[in-house]
Chains A and B, each alone.
Chain A
Amino acid sequence: MFRITVTGGKGGTGKSFVAVNLALLLAKHFRTVLVDLDLEAPNDHILLSIDKLENEEPIKLFLPFINTSKCTKCGVCAKVCDTGAILLPGGAYPIIFPRLCSGCKACYYACPYNAIIEGYHVLGYVYRTSIIIENTELTLVTGVLREGEEHVPPGVNYTRKKAEEIETDILLMDTGAGTGNQISIALKNVDLTIIVTEPTPLGIHDMSNVLKITNEMGIRTWTIINKSSIGDTSKIYEISNKYNVEKIYEIPYHRDVVSSYVERKPIVVKYKNSPITRVFNEVAQSIMELVRSNGK
């Protein structure tokens, strides 16, 4: 399985735009799974004109319960809890604060009396939807966090795990904005990272943050400069070279992109001769060469 992650740091640079269009091009030649790891605001399905996500499965996160017949009120669970989700009031049994619990299971393993019962709470849902666009089949795995949930990384982890279970040639992961923990989960053990940025101060700043991570992790990295015609791209080239970026592509600001957005039809399907589609074809071609050579 060849794993690709599309990320970029700044929101609104076009990560989902790139991921969706590349997935459709790759799916013509390889079995492809697109994974929407932006659990707080998943929207690849919107770009793909999917109105109803299918095959719902809950994302379960460990939540401790206290077996009061075994508990000795020793307080070990409260001491090891990294998020301060367990309180040991004087003389009473431990109290769990579910909203604070990150499901790390430290209390479960630390309890010397096996008094922690393994429970769970539902963090969100994973969906698996298959679509066919122009005789090309594409599988979309989407993770959705429930409203009010604070713990994103375990949800991202679970969604990726579910997607990894599917037998496929290419796993294309689309991350949310930011450079935090949930992004690094999507960067673990991948063959290629595509950083989508734009020539704006925020785009450049966040791109260099992501590049620091990918460079540190030793991941093969390409950059796509989206809306490249709206600003000065020289700084992006400079930083990309500094962090060993292998390839840089430019997607100019173009009317076709906007109208494909409005019509909910991915640009590679709607405007086959657009200059934007040409760039995507070029990127997809390079990816396929890599896949065929097993990433060498």
Chain B
Amino acid sequence: MKIAITTNKGGLDDQIADRFGRAPTFTIVELDDNTLEIKNVYVVENPGSKAGSGAGVRAVQKLADEKVNIVIGPNPGPNAYIALQQSGIRIYAMTGMSAKEALKRVIEELKKK
């Protein structure tokens, strides 16, 4: 399973970016499907951050290309929202904390299921 977090400079110590489509980077975390242990963490640039228009769609396109299942970040805009729905990517709307903290909470939530 892959979880992406909207971040500024990237990395788990970074704060969650406060805009969805225009977040500079996505920090992508690969989890073991059964144990939910972190297997790998890497940072990708968000093409939406530099786009003239359609930032939300471009951001989701990147997430879809990376085969992300869940994204953690602020509330997406209308275009990004539809794009996420169509791509089957779930969003956990969270801001005002570090990527690490948000990830921890989401993993706890997933373990309950």
Against B, the Cβ 8 Å flags (1 = close, 0 = not) of A69-94 are 00000000010011111111110100
Please name all residues of chain A whose beta carbon is closer than 8 Å to the beta carbon of B64 when the two chains form the complex.
Answer: 87-90
Q: Is A87's CB under 8 angstroms from B87's CB?
A: yes
Cβ contact within 8 Å between B87 and A89? yes
B48, B52, B53, B86: the one contacting A89 at CB < 8 Å is B86
Bound-complex Cα distance A78 to B53 (A):
13
**In the complex the two chains form, is A84's CB within 8 Å of B54's CB?**
yes
Task: Select which of A88, A90, A100 is within 8 A of B54 by beta carbon.
Answer: A100
> B64-91: which have CB < 8 Å to A?
64-65, 67, 79, 82-83, 86-88
- B60 interface residue per 8 A CB criterion: yes
Q: Is the interface of A mostly helix, strand, loop or mixed?
A: loop
Per the 8 Å Cβ criterion, residues 96-155 of A in contact with B are: 97, 99-100
Residue of B nearest to A92 (CB): B86
Determine which residue in B56, B57, B79 has the highest number of CB atoms from chain A within 10 A of its CB, and name it.
B57
Do B53 and A83 touch (CB < 8 A)? Answer: yes
CB distance A87 to B57 under 8 Å? yes
Contact between B58 and A84, CB atoms less than 8 A apart: yes
> Is B29 located at the chain interface by the 8 A CB criterion?
no
CB of B40, distance to nearest CB on chain A (Å): 19
Residues of A within 8 A of B82 (CB): 95, 97
Q: A266–B53 Cα gap in the complex (Å)?
A: 41
Q: Given known contacts A78-B61, A97-B79, is B53 in contact with A84 (CB within 8 Å)?
A: yes
Alpha-carbon gap, A99 to B83, bound state (A)? 13
Give the CA-CA distance A95 to B88 in the complex, in Å.
13
Distance A55 CA – B58 CA, assembled complex (angstroms): 40
Closest CB in chain B relative to A108 CB, distance in Å: 17
Nearest CB of chain A from residue B83's CB, rounded to whole Å: 5
* CB pair B79 A90 closer than 8 Å: no
Q: If A90-B67, A100-B79 touch, does A84 touch B87 (CB 8 Å cutoff)?
A: no
Q: Which of A78, A83, A84, A97 contacts B48 (CB 8 A)?
A: A84
Distance to closest chain B CB from A81 (angstroms)? 7
B19 to chain A, nearest CB (A): 15
Task: Give the distance in Å from the alpha carbon of A87 to the alpha carbon of B65 in the complex.
Answer: 10
Q: Report B-chain residues with C-beta under 8 Å of the C-beta of A97.
A: 54, 57, 79, 82-83
Known: A95-B83, A97-B82. A85 touches B57 (CB 8 A): yes
The yes or no answer to B38 lying at the interface (CB within 8 A) is no
For the complex, give the distance between the alpha carbons of A100 and B58 in Å: 12
Bound CA span A95–B83, Å = 8
Interchain CB contact under 8 A, A89 and B88: yes
Residues of B within 8 A of A86 (CB): 57
Q: Which of B51, B56, B87 contacts A90 (CB 8 A)?
A: B87
Q: Which residue of B lies closest to A151 (CB)?
A: B53
Seed contacts A89-B88, A95-B82, A97-B54; 8 additional CB < 8 Å A-B pairs: A83-B52, A83-B54, A84-B53, A84-B54, A84-B56, A87-B57, A87-B64, A87-B86
Where the two chains meet, the residues of B that have a C-beta atom closer than 8 Å to any C-beta of A are: 48, 51-58, 60-61, 64-65, 67, 79, 82-83, 86-88
